[in-house]
Structure 1
């Protein structure tokens, strides 16, 4: 099986295992699904951190309002009494005024924290260094771990408008957010290898060759972004090794130049012009300038 080292720009993301006989359409679709799935896990972890600190999300008409404004407008969070965390809560006001402040107890916060740690570890970029491949099944398992933890803490489910609940049912609205710029639309997805776009409707071996036991770098982007930058001819680590080797060679040359074996060349008897100067009486002649 060929291993694809997937990058977005210069950022190393994950390893994916496939076959050189696989259809390029299938490979691109699967890589984009894993890529977007990783982003979904990261977004959920960020929101679950807020959930653990400040409770469920407020209705859209209450977000950003202070208590006086909410009272003046006579607004009410109808899900506050229904979506109570297991084991009760303490009040911890959200400084961003996005969540209702009903913080779960310490035990429930620990459940959420453990789930986040496990999910993050399953999609971590550091897995590339350990040659651990990532699959869509692993991404889905990470999502299920987060979903299970939230269900334990909130068995009655979260409000339907809560960002976390919307992510779980794939109804998230990312428009106008930074996250929308990170997601790759499947219909616009492109894959590049060695400066060439891998086109749909072909086999992977038309680009990678027939060797099914190899590891190559591919880059993801989407239509309109232009071709991604080529990979460096040498890695940063290899470049440093080359520089270190060159430095050692220069130091060895310096030592050879200072070697005592050729110190005799600086001696008077080794001077090829010494005999001639003696014959002309010019040995140890000192010159004076001026008067």
Structure 2
């Protein structure tokens, strides 16, 4: 099976395993789904971090309002009494005014933290260095792990307007957010290899060759972004090794040059006592120790 090392720009994301005889339409669709799925996992984890600290989301009409404004407008969070974390809560007011301030108890917080840690490990970029492929089912497992932890802590579920619940139900609205710029719509996804776009409805071997036991770098982007930059001829690790070797060689040359400069000191004409020995007829005298 060929390994496709997927990048977005210069950032390593994951490795996708497939066959050179696979259809490029299927490959592009799968890689795009994994790419977007990883983003979803990280978005959910980011919101769970806020949930751990400040509880569930306030209704949209209350978000960002001060306590005085809420009283003045006679608004009430009807979900605060329904969606109470298991074991109760402690009050920890959200300075951003996004969440209701009902922080889960420490034991429940630990459950959520452990779930986040495990979920992130399923899709970690470190898997690239380990040459471990990532599949769509791994992304689903990460999301299911997070969903299960939320169910344990909030057996009555989260409010329908909570971003985490919306993410799980695929009803999230990312318009106007930074996340919307990161997500790639399947219909607009493009895959590139060696500066050449991999077109749909082709066989993968048309682009990467027929060697089914190799690893190549492909880059994903959106329509309209143009061709991504080509891979550097030398990797960062190779460049560092070459610089270290060049420095070592330079130091060797310096040492040899210094040795050559001092070599004349071993010559007889450079001996300051040579003339004196000749005058006394001791120029060719050799001494033997012990005789």
**In structure 2, C-alpha distance between the alignment counterparts of 1:169 and 1:257, rounded to whole Å:** 72
Indicate the residue corresponding to 1:34 in structure 2. Answer: 34
CA drift of 1:269 comes to: 4.8
Distance 1:264 1:42 in 2: 70
Structure 1 segment 153-172 matched on structure 2, within 5 A: 153-172=153-172
2:181 maps to: 181
| 3-state SS of 1:226 partner | coil
Post-superposition offset of 1:150: 0.2
After alignment, is 221-230 or 126-135 more displaced?
A: 126-135
Q: Are 1:221 and 2:221 matched, yes or no?
A: yes
**Bigger Cα displacement from structure 2, 116-125 vs 258-267:** 258-267
Secondary structure of 2:149 counterpart: helix
> In the TM superposition, what are the counterparts of 1:250-261 in structure 2 within 5 Å?
250-259=250-259
TM-score, normalising length: structure 1: 0.90
Deviation, 1:256, is 2.2
SS in 1 for 2:61: coil
How many Å separate the matches in 2 of 1:265 and 1:48?
Answer: 76
* Displacement after TM superposition at 1:90 (Å): 1.0
**Stretches (4+) displaced over 6 A:** none
In structure 2, the partner of 1:283 is none
1:78 Cα deviation after fit? 1.1
State the match for 1:94 in structure 2: 94
Residues 215-224 or 245-254, more deviating: 245-254
CA–CA distance in structure 2, aligned partners of residues 260 and 206 of structure 1:
58
Q: Helix, strand or coil: the match of 2:56?
A: coil
For residues 147 and 71 of structure 2, what CA distance do their matches in structure 1 show?
34
Q: Distance in 2 between matches of 1:58 and 1:257?
A: 75
Structure 2 Cα separation of the partners of residues 261 and 40 of structure 1 = 67
CA deviations on 1:198-226 (whole Å, 9 max, x unpaired) are 01110000001000000000000010101
1:237-248 aligned at under 5 Å gives the runs: 237-248=237-248
Long gaps (5+) in structure 1: 271-291
Distance 1:215 1:260 in 2: 49
**In structure 2, C-alpha distance between the alignment counterparts of 1:21 and 1:127, rounded to whole Å:** 25
For residue 259 of structure 1, give the secondary structure of its aligned residue in structure 2.
helix
What is the DSSP-based 3-state SS (H/G/I as helix, E as strand, rest coil) of the residue aligned with 1:61?
helix
Query: Which residue number corresponds to residue 49 of structure 1?
Result: 49
Cα root mean square deviation, aligned: 1.6
CA 1:245 to 1:89, structure 2 compared with 1: closer, same or farther past 3 Å?
same
Question: Could you tell me how far apart the structure 2 residues matched to 1:167 and 1:232 are?
Answer: 37
Query: Counterparts of 2:101 and 2:233 in 1: how far apart (Å)?
Result: 53
1:97, distance to aligned residue in structure 2 (A): 0.3
Equivalent-residue separation in structure 2 for 1:116 and 1:90 (angstroms): 21
Residues 75-98 of structure 1 deviation map (CA, whole Å, 9 limit, x = unaligned): 011111111111111111000000
Shift in CA distance, 53/262, structure 1 to aligned 2, threshold 3 Å: closer
Q: Partner residue of 1:190?
A: 190
What's 1:144 paired with?
144
Secondary structure, aligned partner of 1:221:
strand
Q: Does 1:115 align with 2:115?
A: yes
Q: Which residue of the partner structure matches residue 7 of structure 2? A: 7
SS at match of 2:62: coil
Aligned-partner Cα distance in 1 for 2:257–2:49: 64
SS at match of 1:216: strand
Deviates more, 1:118-127 or 1:257-266: 257-266
